Structure 1
Amino acid sequence: MVTGDAAYIKRINRSIIIQEIVKEGLISRADLSKATALTRATISAQVADLLEEGLIVEQQLEYNSVGRKPIMLSLDGSAGYALGIDLDFGKITFTLSNLLGIPISSNTIEINTTAYSETLPILIDQIKNYIVEWKDNRYGIVGIVIAIHGLVSKDEIIHYVPRFDWNDINLKNDLEKEIGIDIYIENNANLCAFAERVFVHHSTDNLLCATLYSGIGLGMMRNNDFFRGHNGYAGEAGHMIVVPEGKQCECGNKGCWEKYASEASVFKQLSEDRKIKNMTYEHIQKWLDEGDEDIHDKMEQFIYYLSIGLNNMINLYNPDVLVLDSEFLRMYPNSIHKIRENLHSSISHYQELLISSIGDKACSLGACALAIKHFLDVPILNLNFENQALQDEF
């Protein structure tokens, strides 16, 4: 039996109530009581506190029937803002969202350094600018989450970032000493998986999201939380060996999955073959439209090796939903059908296999959503990616 003092129980009830308000968007006190199984007196007291704090707002719906117009409750999205930062090789993307996860702005700056001593001041300056710009709102910046394209331990130490050559960096501590706001450090693939769960796949508690851009990362959501492994390094599926004694990988092994089934590996091979230094998706799309046989062969090979790794992931984790985040798969006709055809093992079981509808926004949206989750102190969020304002602003 779970027990606790009155303050603890009040906090739990508050979390339940906020989570339900966010989930429903608009809800009355009576319906909130039914949905949470909390008494009307508890609902009234908690709602009064949340209204006084400026975290929720009331509004009356148009009501044509006889009787009192229902008063609905909703989270005040403009009460505060979350800052999601995607720290990637050569660039840093800053995305600001309101408390409903709707992006307000997104800005990418190029960086010409991988040195930590030079990157840290850039982050501090940019973050301080956001804090000053939004300080006049009720809660200002409520939290900051930074996505790292590498290994992040359970205590949020950056263990290793291959393309930066960073080892055992305490970015969280260094920033919080300068900023004075809660900072959270998370692996980028985990944040992509979190975005898929929070914005799209509300009904699943067992989701895998494979990101296929600069390498291959695997974000795993199980029971509404990240599956991290012992130290926090679970999900480095890109370094699973799929071709024994194959291509040399930066990790030290040969034949790693991401050397064959990441977009970076395809770009690298095509750049060498075609003598084009700065190859883009537009190049690939043009060649596909022209029916270039070599490009089609490269895409078929990409899908073939991708399917090998996915078969392993499915058999290992038996996911409900498996989301693939790849621009190549969005470009190449019938790519999901081709992958499914390769997954013909009789012991492979999953419910859904699909290409991400969020796309390359997933990492920064997931970062914003995680900051909101921490601020609201709720077990999970159900936000709406289909909100037209979100799509228009981002």
Structure 2
Amino acid sequence: MLTGDASYIKKMNRSLILSKIIELHLISRADLAKITGLNKATVSVQVSDLLSEELIIETQQEHKNLGRRPIMLSINPQAGFVLGIDLDKKSITFNLSTMNGAPFQTNTIELQSSDYDIILNLLIKHIEDYKHQCAHTRYGLAEVVIGIHGIVNNDEMIYFVPQHRWRNKNLKEDLMNEIGINVSIENNANLCSLSEKVYKHHQSGNLLSISLYSGIGLGIMVNGESLKGCHGYAGEIGHMIIVPDGKPCSCGNLGCWEQYASETSFYKQLSKNNHIPDFRNGAIKHLLLEQEQNIDHLMDQYIKYLSIGLNNIINLYNPEILVVNSELLLMVPNAVSKIKRHLTSTISHYCELLVSELGNSACIMGACALAIKNFLKVSELSLTYNEKKTCLSY
């Protein structure tokens, strides 16, 4: 049985009220009481505290009916900002977001080096720039979350980043010592699964998100919470062996799934078959539209290997929603139907299989969502997906 003192219950009520204000954008005190089940006195006290902290604001809604206009509550857009960062192999993307999840500004910088100290100094410089930019607000730059394309443990230490060959790096501490802002480090696949739940599938408690970019990562949501395993290393599903004695993998094994079903593996094989060193998405889309025989055959093989891994995952987790995050599959007509034709087992059960609409923005959107959750200390978060933002590149 769950128990708690008055202070704990107050925190729970605050979290619930803030979550509903964020989700519904505008809501009155009376409606808050109805939706949350809290009494009006509790709502009034909590709202008073949030107003004094300038986390929420009041506005008077216009209406044509007689009588008093209702006073509506919403998140204060000038309260402060959070920063999500996607640290990838060749680039770093920064997304500055308001407290209600609206993207405010996105910048991307290209990486010329994998050296840890060089990238650390780049991060410090750009975070400091954002900190200065947000200084006019009450809470300034309140929280930073960084998505890592590698293995992150439960203490937020980076165990290994294969793309940069980093091992045992304490990026969290190194940054916080310099910038004086709370920083969280998280695996990119976990952030992708969080973004799917927060922005698209609010009611799903059991959701899996599979990212198919340079490698393959699995983000696992069970009963609405991330499942990370004993040390935080759960979800390294790309190193599940699907072809015994198959292609060598950087992990040391042979026949790992990501050697056959990651986008990188597809591009490498396509480049090899066509004697072209680098295929871009535009060229691939053209070949798909032209229904070139060589790419059709390769795509069929790719989907076959992808489906083998998906079948294993479905049997392991019995997900409600299985989201495949892939820019490549978004270009393939009827991709989901083609995958489903390979999922013929009578014991494999899932409710919905789809290709993510968030694409390669999923990681950074999840980083912003986690930053909001951390700063506002809310357990549940439902945000509206909005592609509009200011995009800058350097």
TM-score, normalised to structure 1, is: 0.97
Q: Which moved more, 1:365-374 or 1:220-229?
A: 220-229
* C-alpha contact 2:192 2:362 (8 A) present in aligned 1: yes
Shift of 1:62: 2.5
Give the match for residue 49 of structure 1.
49
Shift of 1:287: 1.1
2:222 matched to 1:222?
yes
* C-alpha contact 1:124 1:175 (8 A) present in aligned 2: yes
Shift of 1:392: 5.4
**Count of aligned pairs:** 391
User: Which residues of structure 2 form unaligned runs of 5+?
Assistant: none
* C-alpha contact 2:152 2:158 (8 A) present in aligned 1: yes
**Helix, strand or coil: the match of 1:79?**
coil
Give the match for residue 197 of structure 1.
197
* C-alpha contact 1:224 1:379 (8 A) present in aligned 2: no
Q: Equivalent residues in 2 for 1:1-394 (5 A)?
A: 1-385=1-385, 387=386, 390-391=387-388, 393=390
Q: In structure 2, how many angstroms separate the alpha carbons of the residues matched to 1:225 and 1:142?
A: 23
Task: Give, as a single letter, the amino acid of the residue that structure 2 aligns with 1:25.
Answer: H
**Helix, strand or coil: the match of 1:209?**
strand
Q: In structure 2, how many angstroms separate the alpha carbons of the residues matched to 1:264 and 1:78?
A: 41
Shift of 1:171: 0.5
Q: In structure 1, how many angstroms separate the alpha carbons of the residues matched to 2:321 and 2:390?
A: 28
**Helix, strand or coil: the match of 1:384?**
coil
Shift of 1:94: 0.8
Question: Per-residue displacement from partner, 1:273-331 (whole Å, max 9, x unpaired)?
Answer: 22322321111011112221101111111111000000000000011000011111110
Q: In structure 2, how many angstroms separate the alpha carbons of the residues matched to 1:164 and 1:63?
A: 57
Question: Per-residue displacement from partner, 1:209-266 (whole Å, max 9, x unpaired)?
Answer: 0011111111111122210011100001100001110000000001000100111001
Question: Per-residue displacement from partner, 1:90-143 (whole Å, max 9, x unpaired)?
Answer: 211111111111111111111111121221111111111110111111111110
**Helix, strand or coil: the match of 1:342?**
coil
Question: Per-residue displacement from partner, 1:145-182 (whole Å, max 9, x unpaired)?
Answer: 00000100001000011111111111001111111111
Question: Per-residue displacement from partner, 1:49-96 (whole Å, max 9, x unpaired)?
Answer: 111111111122232333221111111233211111111112111111
Q: Which moved more, 1:158-167 or 1:266-275?
A: 266-275
* C-alpha contact 1:97 1:104 (8 A) present in aligned 2: yes
Percent identity of paired positions between Structure 1 and Structure 2: 53
* C-alpha contact 2:106 2:389 (8 A) present in aligned 1: no
Q: In structure 1, how many angstroms separate the alpha carbons of the residues matched to 2:323 and 2:138?
A: 37
Task: Give, as a single letter, the amino acid of the residue that structure 1 aligns with 2:139.
Answer: Y
Question: Per-residue displacement from partner, 1:7-53 (whole Å, max 9, x unpaired)?
Answer: 33222211111111112221111111111121111111111111111
Q: In structure 1, how many angstroms separate the alpha carbons of the residues matched to 2:77 and 2:187?
A: 26
Q: In structure 2, how many angstroms separate the alpha carbons of the residues matched to 1:379 and 1:58?
A: 24
Task: Give, as a single letter, the amino acid of the residue that structure 2 aligns with 1:45.
Answer: V
Q: In structure 2, how many angstroms separate the alpha carbons of the residues matched to 1:238 and 1:34?
A: 46
CA RMSD of aligned residues (A): 1.3
Q: In structure 2, how many angstroms separate the alpha carbons of the residues matched to 1:39 and 1:88?
A: 47
**Helix, strand or coil: the match of 2:50?**
helix
Q: Which moved more, 1:290-299 or 1:244-253?
A: 290-299
Q: In structure 2, how many angstroms separate the alpha carbons of the residues matched to 1:299 and 1:274?
A: 14
User: Which residues of structure 1 form unaligned runs of 5+?
Assistant: none
Q: In structure 1, how many angstroms separate the alpha carbons of the residues matched to 2:288 and 2:3?
A: 62
Q: Which moved more, 1:53-62 or 1:104-113?
A: 53-62
Q: Which moved more, 1:199-208 or 1:100-109?
A: 100-109
**Helix, strand or coil: the match of 2:78?**
helix
Shift of 1:380: 1.8
Question: Per-residue displacement from partner, 1:302-361 (whole Å, max 9, x unpaired)?
Answer: 111000000000000011000011111110111100111111111111111011111111
